[in-house]
Homo-oligomer: A and B are copies of this chain.
Amino acid sequence: MSAPKATSQSETAARRAPVTLRDVARRANVSQATAARAMGGYGYVSANRRRRVEQAADELGYRSNDIARALASGSTKTVGLVVGDIENPFFAALARGVADVVEAEGYTLLLANSDEDIEREQRAVEAFRTRLVDGLIVAPVTGSDSAHLHQPGWPLVLVDRSIRGLDVDTVTVTNARGARVAVEHLLALGHRRIGVVTDSAEIPSISQRLRGYRSALRGAGLAVDDALIAVAESSTLSGGYAAARALLERADRVRAVFTTSNVMTAGATRALQDLGLKMPADVALIAFDDLEWTTIVEPPITVIAQPVLELGRTAGRRILARVGGDNSPAQRIRLPTQLIVRASCGERDGAVPARAGDAPAAVPAA
């Protein structure tokens, strides 16, 4: 434990033992408190002593120890992020957005995957708690089991998914509205029987999207046929594939499908291919969430795009604000989704199939 201090007399940096603030202070002939103030950039230090400290620090090759700092100050300068699966491009972009804003403020991002499993989510939250992350951002697995998230005094923001009754900052997109716009697009094209390939409704955002689906149908005076809602057993491509096949192999096959996530979209697209069904001739497809490949496939897929990066950035900004002491009432921020008409549903009004970012055919969905 008590490693020998590096008090080498040579002008080169110390070698073996980590050099501490005390070493720097000694060499600069100032108190440890002054050295701390100089290096930490707080409190008052005269220009003269500051110079001496800085010089001593880099002669010695001093590196601050954030662990010691965290223990003494109570702040770790870290934020934890729990997502379903970092391999999902949606979450990857979300993480990117969060990282961008928190790193810019000197914070480090800690990452964990829940795999949409409540126990893994709980373990991740617990691990972050014992690590004393200053703030926590979670895309919760479910809206019905949030006891582990209920930690008064510990900054928390929910992202992508909200939880009823949990009064914390929540950053989502307009899920229900986006889904409604999607389904209305299909309705406007004349479809009356619209199938759905979806992740579990346990996932809060998904349940909102299903709500949007139902509300669109009801708005058109149509009944909701639960048999047309194919729920995947897992949020994976193969889960989506299986659900899509089950839906599309029915004798009374639907001519239009709405997928509630990018994973389901990939599964459904592959199912359509395997069944030899063409879009939009055999089946029209509209998807929630946009991805790079949706514009590369033939035909390009009509989607409800989400401002994912901005979702992450906004969540990052909220957590920084809370960590910084913001005590204002919890905010529920809803970012708008956007209908991007491409070719998988056939074309309406002769609108040109567009790519993400193209203005003409991209109309706000919320």
Contact = CB atoms under 8 A, between A and B. Distances in A.
Say how many copies of this protein the assembly contains: 2
Nearest to A293: B293
A89 B95 CA distance: 13
A292 B89 CA distance: 11
A130 B298 CA distance: 49
A292 B292 contact: no
Closest 7 CB pairs of A and B: A293-B293, A92-B92, A66-B130, A66-B131, A87-B96, A111-B111, A67-B70
B63 A129 contact: yes
A109 interface: yes
Contact of A113 (B64, B96, B106, B296): B96
Contacts of A78: 110, 131
B110 A110 contact: yes
Given A64-B130, A130-B63, A112 B110 contact: no
A76 interface: yes
Interface in A89-126: 89, 92-93, 95-96, 99, 103, 106, 108-113
A176 interface: no
A109 B113 CA distance: 10
B89 A89 contact: yes
A297 B297 CA distance: 5
A293 B296 CA distance: 8
A167 interface: no
Nearest to A77: B131
A296 B262 CA distance: 13
A66 B110 CA distance: 14
B109 A112 contact: yes
A275 interface: no
A295 B266 CA distance: 10
Contact of A297 (B93, B108, B298): B298
Contacts of A266: 292-293, 296
A67 B63 contact: no
Interface string A52-65: 00000000000111
Given A66-B130, A67-B132, 17 more contacts: A67-B131, A68-B71, A78-B110, A86-B92, A86-B95, A87-B92, A95-B111, A99-B113, A103-B112, A108-B112, A108-B128, A269-B296, A270-B295, A293-B293, A293-B296, A297-B297, A298-B298
